[in-house]
Chain A
Amino acid sequence: MIAQVYGKRGATAVHRYDPRAKTLLLLAFLVLFFLPIRVGYLAAYLAVVVALSWVFLGIPNTLRPIRLILPILILVLLLTPPFYREGIALLTIRGFTVLSVNGLLLALRLMVRFSGITMVFYLFIGTTDPDQMILALRWFRLPYTMSLVLSLALGYIPTIRTLYDQVRDAHQLRLAVREEGSRAVGARRQGRGLFKRLREAIPILTSVLILSVRRIPTLAMALECRGVGRKNPRSSYHTLKRGGALLGEGVITAAAVAVLVISVLLFP
């Protein structure tokens, strides 16, 4: 998912935007989505993030994360209301409240919050080169090792996606179970039921988990072979923006954060 946005690095203004500014915007939006404000307002902020993604990354890239989390959103919608039955009952079966206004509002809040967090990560982190991310985190005075770990963890998302594709291919051949289309030009995508796809994904996800765990020691070896752990000062091949461009983006970021603060105060 994120790999495909990385692949377009430099292609849009949001890709070129300073990673320090993106980190600040990310934090501002994360705080926002956790604030106990009205669901309607939260949805409005989500709409803003979706609109930004739509404008800068295009429709397919905006729909991709939403499609990815859709099964979780459906589960939240189905499973939250029966456990929170306070408030006006909307659906009662044999005296048992299955759906209430409060339960529905809570489900919607969780859905909007989860979608918002996913979208801001996708928009701000997914468009940032991991090397730039490390520089930004170091600029915020995080130690290099911690910045590297955070960057590797975030960078591992596309790796897992690649691994998932490769393992899916292996399962597909070995068990002759076909899941979805391929990356080829002209490849056909076959529609199938959500639950069938989820069921088929379980062995693939299990294999991906096993392979990921198995890779931990080799990853550690690879890092030490590249000198991670040395005590000498580290230099940097990549650089962060300076001068007028940074000033302009800093002003835009400050203005955006101010607008968010004011809007939260005006519409609690």
Chain B
Amino acid sequence: MTSIDPDLSIRNLSFSYPEYPGIAARHLFGGLNLELPAGSIAVLLARPDRGKTTLCRVLAGLIPRFTGGELQGEVSLGILQLPEKVPYELIEQVGLVFQHPGEQLLASRCDSEVAFPLESLGVPRSEIETRLAAALRTMDLERYRYKSPKVLSGGEKKKLLIACLLAVDPRLWLLDETLEELDSGTKTQLLQLLKDRRRSTLILSAKWHDLFREYVDSIFLMEEGRVRAVRENPGSPEFQRLLLKRGFVLPGESAKRANGSPPKGSSPERLSAGKRVSTAPAKAAVPEDDALLVAEDLYFRYEDEGRGSGPAFSLQIGHLRLTAGRVLAIVGDNGSGKSTLGRLLCGLLSPGAGQIRIRRGGILQPAGAEELNRYTGYLFQDPDLQIFLPTVFEELALGLKHMSLTAEEINRRVQETVSLFGLPAGEAPPSLMSYGIRKKLQAGVYHLLERPLMIIDEGDSGLSVDDFARMVHIFRKKAGALVFITHDHRLAGALADEVAELRSGRFV
């Protein structure tokens, strides 16, 4: 994978985070080498907590500038020595999309967000106007031009950040799990765009996407602080075995790919591994004996945020039934209403019309917001909104303290959960944990709450597929019914009993 004239060259990189009170210095890389030829697209696969985000931030000049720590080795982009530069001097050279889009959005309007770096570069106003219009058009965000980024869905926020990079068009693109939370159309469009523009691109991912096979020039694995180039042909059984072994694909998926199932142009139905794509099951046709939750004629629209210049977004669900012991996956494009439906089912939003019934005392009864809050566990897309306390133990124990349990029982349950989800020791501070581990902690918190219905909103983002499959397995055993929201049709098909697709707020 070594090239004669690499654009990005990393040699003998090592990095250790500094010591914090009570926490030893964490050595993340040691002798890391990577070369990326000019204009090529590479994917770097690594399991959560292996240092993907840290590597991106080192390349963008953010680490150790903002975190401290010890960095050694050589990192060059062409003739530029990156560690000698500060991030604001690099914006035309290196563009980074953060894993967590909410952390990177600054402006009060989408157009201002895209214009911000161009203003910093001193680009004339007329050219800013041209570039931002083109970037928003490319990412299909024109209708949000004058809206606040806050009204966008998680995937749309990532699209906006990509639009920012498109407008600046840096030489090196660093996409930190950017393909997660994007719908398949946008993923393809982005990769095609990068290929057409011949931009050096490093995609960091905890998951193998079939699209990589078509668009990516080189594949790297990051393990134990080092990077190694994958020499196996991506279509070969050896490569599939490697992905499977490292947890980047699920067993069923791997077998299918090895047998040559087509990744491109496959409909969600075909990708769903033989699972039925639910189209709002007819209410008369199904018995309700085993239903835990039934929603009928739900209607919801946002009050005044006006997510676009077109008609206000609304969600309309004719009939939805969640059954004990079953797993439903909800798929759909960015902004199709998946999270809105999740928030309605757990009572965080109240429907403008329609009814939600839950099983209590053996019969289905209408439920208000408070009942739904107690009945449903909902893992937010952003784990940081559900994690506040200084240690893993305190975070896990908080809900248990409201259950009148003894200290010993709380301790026992917390330890059990730590082990079940593979979390760091109880005294570890969540704020210093990686995004993927924070997601696991978030799942552990809700696992302890023992809710009959669990909803996981884009829980696979930031986790390897085997980690996510394990999470689904744990909740399948624990909860009465499980709903997970994802963009990954294949994952939905592999893990769920039923797959439902939302499009523009309606089941299709």
* Candidates A3, A6, A175, A235; contact of B123 at CB < 8 Å: A235
B125 within 8 A of A: yes
Contacting pair A184 B108 (CB below 8 A):
no
What's the least CB distance linking A38 to chain B, in Å?
40
In the complex, chain B residues 369-394 whose Cβ is within 8 Å of any chain A Cβ: 369-370, 373-374, 376-378, 380, 382, 384-386, 388
Instruction: List 4 A-B pairs, minimum CB-CB distance, nearest first.
Output: A227-B120, A237-B115, A224-B87, A185-B352
> Are the CB atoms of B150 and A162 closer together than 8 Å?
yes
- The answer for the CA separation of A131 and B304 in the assembled complex, in Å, is 22
Instruction: Decide if A183 is an interface residue (CB 8 Å cutoff).
Output: yes
Partner among A152, A169, A223 whose Cβ is within 8 Å of the Cβ of B348: A169
Taking A174-B446, A187-B349, A226-B91 as given, write out 13 further A-B residue pairs in contact, using a Cβ cutoff of 8 Å, ordered by the A residue number.
A131-B112, A175-B402, A182-B350, A183-B303, A184-B300, A184-B350, A184-B351, A186-B352, A221-B62, A226-B164, A229-B86, A230-B121, A237-B118
Q: Is the CB of B89 within 8 A of A187?
A: no
Whole-angstrom distance between the Cβ of A255 and the nearest chain B Cβ: 31
Query: With A214-B431, A222-B104, A237-B129 known to touch, is A182 a contact of B122 (CB < 8 Å)?
Result: no
| A178 touching B115 in the complex, CB below 8 Å, given contacts A173-B377, A214-B431 | no
Taking a contact as CB atoms closer than 8 A, the residue among B109, B164, B353 that contacts A129 in the complex is B109
Say yes or no for A232: interface residue by CB 8 A criterion: yes
Given A130-B108, A131-B109, also A207-B57 (CB < 8 A): no
Report if B107 contacts A (CB, 8 A).
Answer: yes
Closest to A229 in B: B88
Pick from B103, B148, B349: contact of A184, CB under 8 Å: B349
Does A225 make an interface contact (CB < 8 A)?
yes
Q: Which A residues, 149 to 186, have Cβ-Cβ distances below 8 Å to chain B?
A: 152, 155, 158-159, 162-163, 166-167, 169-170, 172-176, 178, 181-186
Q: Given the complex, which residues of A lie within 8 Å of B370, measured CB to CB?
A: 176, 178
- Contact size class for B? 35 or more
Q: Which of A6, A166, A222 lies in contact with B108, CB distance below 8 A?
A: A6
Q: How far is the CB of A186 from chain B (nearest CB, A)?
A: 4
Q: Mark B84-122, 1 if CB is under 8 A from A, else 0.
A: 001111010000101010011111110110011111111
Q: Does B67 contact A (CB under 8 A)?
A: yes
Q: What is the CA–CA distance of A163 and B88 in the complex, to the nearest angstrom?
A: 28
Does B8 sit at the interface, judged by CB under 8 A?
A: no
Q: Does B185 contact A (CB under 8 A)?
A: no
Whether B302 lies near A183 (C-beta < 8 A) is yes
Q: Is the CB of B91 within 8 A of A174?
A: no
Contact A172 B106 (CB under 8 A): no
**Chain B neighbourhood of A162, CB < 8 A:** 150
- Is the pair B91, A227 in contact by a Cβ cutoff of 8 Å? yes
Is A94 interfacial (CB-CB < 8 Å)?
A: no
- With a cutoff of 8 Å between Cβ atoms, the chain A residues found around residue B80 in the complex are none
- B89: which A residues are within 8 A, CB to CB? 230
On B, residues with C-beta under 8 Å from A are 57, 60-62, 66-67, 86-89, 91, 96, 98, 100, 103-109, 111-112, 115-125, 128-129, 132, 148, 150, 164, 300-306, 343, 346, 348-353, 369-370, 373-374, 376-378, 380, 382, 384-386, 388, 398-399, 402, 431, 445-446, 449
Per-position contact with B for A206-231: 1 when CB-CB < 8 Å, else 0? 11001100110111111111111110
Chain B residues, Cβ within 8 Å of A182: 348-350, 369
Contact check, B402 vs A7: say whether CB atoms are below 8 A apart.
no
Inter-chain contacts of B301 with A (CB < 8 A): 185
From A222, A236, A237, contact of B103 by CB (8 A): A222
B68 to chain A, nearest CB (A): 11
Contact residues, A81-137 vs B (CB, 8 A): 129-131
In the assembled complex, A192 has its CB within 8 A of some CB on chain B = no
- Of chain A, the residue at the smallest CB distance from B300 is A184
Q: Is the CB of B353 within 8 A of A186?
A: yes
Q: How many positions in chain A have a CB within 8 Å of any CB in the partner chain?
A: 59
Q: Are A236 and B125 in contact (CB under 8 A)?
A: yes
Partner of B107 from the list A130, A174, A187, A220 (CB cut-off 8 Å) is A130
Q: How many A-B residue pairs have CB under 8 A?
A: 177
- CB contacts under 8 Å to B, within A179-200, are 181-188
Residues in A with CB closer than 8 Å to B62 are: 221, 224-225
Contact of B369 with A232 in the complex, beta carbons under 8 Å: no
Interface centre among A4, A7, A182, A185, by most chain B C-beta atoms within 10 angstroms, is: A185
Q: How far is the CB of B157 from chain A (nearest CB, A)?
A: 13
- The answer, yes or no, to whether A233 is at the interface (CB within 8 Å) is yes
Do A173 and B120 have beta carbons less than 8 Å apart?
A: no
| A225 pairs with B129, CB closer than 8 A | no
A63 smallest CB distance to B (angstroms): 16
Complex-state Cα separation, A7 to B306, whole angstroms: 9
Chain B residue nearest to A159 (CB atoms) is B150
A170 and B386 contact, CB distance less than 8 A: yes
Query: Is A217 within 8 A of B107, CB to CB?
Result: no
Q: Within the assembled complex, what's the spacing in Å between the Cα atoms of A217 and B87?
A: 14
26 A-B pairs with C-beta separation under 8 A: A7-B304, A131-B112, A169-B343, A172-B348, A174-B446, A174-B449, A176-B374, A178-B369, A186-B351, A210-B388, A218-B100, A222-B106, A224-B62, A224-B87, A225-B88, A225-B96, A226-B116, A226-B117, A227-B121, A228-B88, A228-B120, A230-B120, A234-B120, A235-B118, A235-B128, A237-B128
Selected contact of A224 from candidates B86, B122, B303, B374, CB within 8 Å:
B86
Q: A235-B119, A237-B132 are in contact. Are A167 and B388 (CB under 8 A)?
A: yes
CA distance A229 to B91 in the complex (A): 11
A129 to chain B: which residues have CB within 8 Å? 108-109
Question: Once the chains bind, are A221 and B349 in contact (CB under 8 Å)?
Answer: no
**B376 touching A173, Cβ below 8 Å:** yes
Nearest to A209 among chain B residues (CB) is: B388
How close is A210's CB to chain B, nearest CB, in angstroms?
Answer: 5
Given the complex, which residues of A lie within 8 Å of B119, measured CB to CB? 227, 234-237
A29 to chain B, nearest CB (A): 24
A54-73 interface mask toward B, CB cutoff 8 Å, 1 = contact, 0 = none?
A: 00000000000000000000
Given A185-B352, A187-B350: A174 touches B103 (CB 8 Å cut-off): no
Q: How far is the CA of A210 from the CA of B385 in the complex (A)?
A: 11
Q: Are B117 and A221 in contact (CB under 8 A)?
A: no
Question: Is A242 in contact with chain B by the CB < 8 A criterion?
Answer: no
